[in-house]
A and B are shown apart, each in its own frame.
Chain A
Amino acid sequence: MTTDTRVGSTSPGPVLPALGNPSRSRTIRDQVARVVMWLAFLVAVVPLVWILWTVVSHGGHLLMESQWWTNSQRGITSRRAGGGAVHAIQGTLIQAAVTALIAVPIAVMTAIYLVEYGRGKFAKAVSFMVDILTGIPSIVAALFIYAVWVTTFGFQRVGFAVSLALVLLMIPVVVRSTEEMLKLVPNELREASYALGVPKWKTIAKVVLPTAFSGIVTGILLGLARVMGETAPLLILGPYTKSIATNLFSGYMPTLPTMINQDRTELGQPAAVERMWGAALTLILLILLLNIAGRLVARFGSVKK
């Protein structure tokens, strides 16, 4: 000890400063920091509110009409008002569901492999490839699927091809979020299970996965919300059509982003502009719903307190 910290006559001064008000300079710095943080907050929030306001004020009334949710745009020219978005909503939901159906098992099992089994070079390589996949721009994923699906195999551009491109984008997101959740499961639980004579695969299936379940589902829903708004694969692989089309393997399949894009080309027509905003608002709402569902699952998770 080089300094004497005892409180007593030998110490040169009081150990603690007097318990008065904070010093002037500290008060000022505190105020400045507060103001800066508030400004940063406003800068972040203003555009958000602005976007929402624009979308709602232009497209909100369309969503109040029941035909928006029941009709397609079949037979409705761009200058006419009317019709609905149900064809695009269906397309978006179907493609998202198929994407999830393919991506989730692959991603979750990859994450299980990386966290529970992966050792050595191969695991490192897998992890590295997931990193690369994370960084792939959506248009590159779309072009890759185009090259394989259309150029190499000679298939048509169909909804399923869009889903494949979305799968490429969704897998790394879900792998990483699932990995994080699995890592959060304390090792003690695995050991407790091993100590009961439970084999490793059963420990993972019955102890680790249930413990991480809500976190994994939340990650999946957020990942899905993320890819549902992706537009590049749709523009390249999923041309728009105004009619209801639910066949993933033949014909064009309309979706909300492509509907927005379609109406964007008719900006001279007030009816088309309104439809564009309406479709945008619908897409925002769908993604919002998924996000809310994700948070709810996280809140009312499987871990009992």
Chain B
Amino acid sequence: MAKRIDVSDLNVYYGQFKAVEGVTMTVEPRSVTAFIGPSGCGKSTFLRTLNRMHEVIPGGRVEGKVLLDDQDLYASDVDPVAVRRTIGMVFQRPNPFPTMSIYDNVAAGLRLNGVKGRKKLDEVVEKSLRGANLWNEVKDRLNKPGAGLSGGQQQRLCIARAIAVEPQVLLMDEPCSALDPISTLAIEDLINDLKSQYTIVIVTHNMQQAARVSDRTAFFNLAATGKPGKLVEIDDTHRIFNNPSVKATEDYISGRFG
């Protein structure tokens, strides 16, 4: 089910401002790809172009191609809503729907897309919560508000919500940056489990995390503030961390800048 993403020559704009320039890369299916790079280099911006979330920002637009298997996501006959159903997203800050219970949060994606039937929903909710390693902690209080969980639990709830609609690809923008080390480990384990079924892209500022969870790592950088960010290189994680082909990557990873 998992799909591959091919990006070629992508430029991303906020109005007149070009935030990301000339990205060409392939994201392999059933693997974890990590994006690293200094703050402001356009990791989030680029990530959000992969499921057309970028265009919900006023003035947001892209040039170039993004192929999901062989389908051009930006072709004129493609519905961005359908793209987002296929490519899910988990955000930096946990954002459960505050009016909904734990159950309703997980079921939200299906319900809002018109799926009815208690039995089907029950099944999906349990499966997704198990998939997100949260089932045992919440199975006795599914009707309690989702916002009443701890930060780490909320983030896993958001992951459950994202995988409940069975996307082909899961994008995660710094999913652990608001979490403590234990919750972080729980989510990293979860990412490891999920990659057998999904294509995962994760943005992180944590080098160890990138090294621990990802198969491939992409390093982004920008020449100066106000200049567009660029992809410096993408390679197997262990090569990026041990023997990168570009000097800037090595400098960044060894902490000499950024």
Contacts from A to B (Cβ < 8 Å)? 119, 186, 188-199, 202-203, 206-207, 210-211, 213, 302-305
Query: Do B162 and A188 touch across chains, with their CB atoms under 8 A apart?
Result: no
Stretch at the interface among B1-9, B69-77, B97-105: B97-105
Stretch at the interface among B51-59, B116-124, B187-195, B247-255: B51-59
Query: Do B145 and A195 touch across chains, with their CB atoms under 8 A apart?
Result: no
Query: Do B113 and A198 touch across chains, with their CB atoms under 8 A apart?
Result: yes
Closest chain B CB from A233 CB (angstroms): 37
Partner of A196 from B93, B99, B109 at Cβ < 8 Å: B109
Contacts from B to A (Cβ < 8 Å)? 51, 53, 56, 58, 81-86, 88-89, 91, 93, 95-101, 108-109, 112-113, 144-148, 158, 161-162, 165
Closest chain B CB from A105 CB (angstroms): 21
Q: Which 6 residue pairs are nearest across A and B when measured between Cβ atoms?
A: A197-B85, A304-B145, A196-B109, A195-B89, A188-B95, A198-B112
Known: A192-B96, A207-B99, A210-B99. 8 other contacts (CB 8 A): A193-B108, A195-B51, A196-B162, A196-B165, A197-B165, A198-B113, A213-B99, A304-B146
Once the chains are docked, how many angstroms separate the CA of A193 from the CA of B91?
Answer: 12
Main secondary structure of the interface of A (DSSP, over half): helix
Once the chains are docked, how many angstroms separate the CA of A189 from the CA of B96?
Answer: 7
In the complex, chain B residues whose CB is within 8 Å of the CB of A119: 58
Could you say which of A192, A199, A206 has the most chain B C-beta atoms within 10 Å of its C-beta? A192
Query: Do A193 and B99 touch across chains, with their CB atoms under 8 A apart?
Result: no
Chain B: which residue is nearest A196 at the CB level? Answer: B109
Chain B: which residue is nearest A302 at the CB level? Answer: B99
- Can you spell out 11 A-B residue pairs with CB atoms less than 8 angstroms apart? A189-B95, A189-B97, A191-B56, A197-B86, A198-B113, A207-B112, A210-B99, A211-B98, A304-B99, A304-B145, A305-B148
Query: Do A206 and B112 touch across chains, with their CB atoms under 8 A apart?
Result: yes
Chain A: which residue is nearest B99 at the CB level? Answer: A210
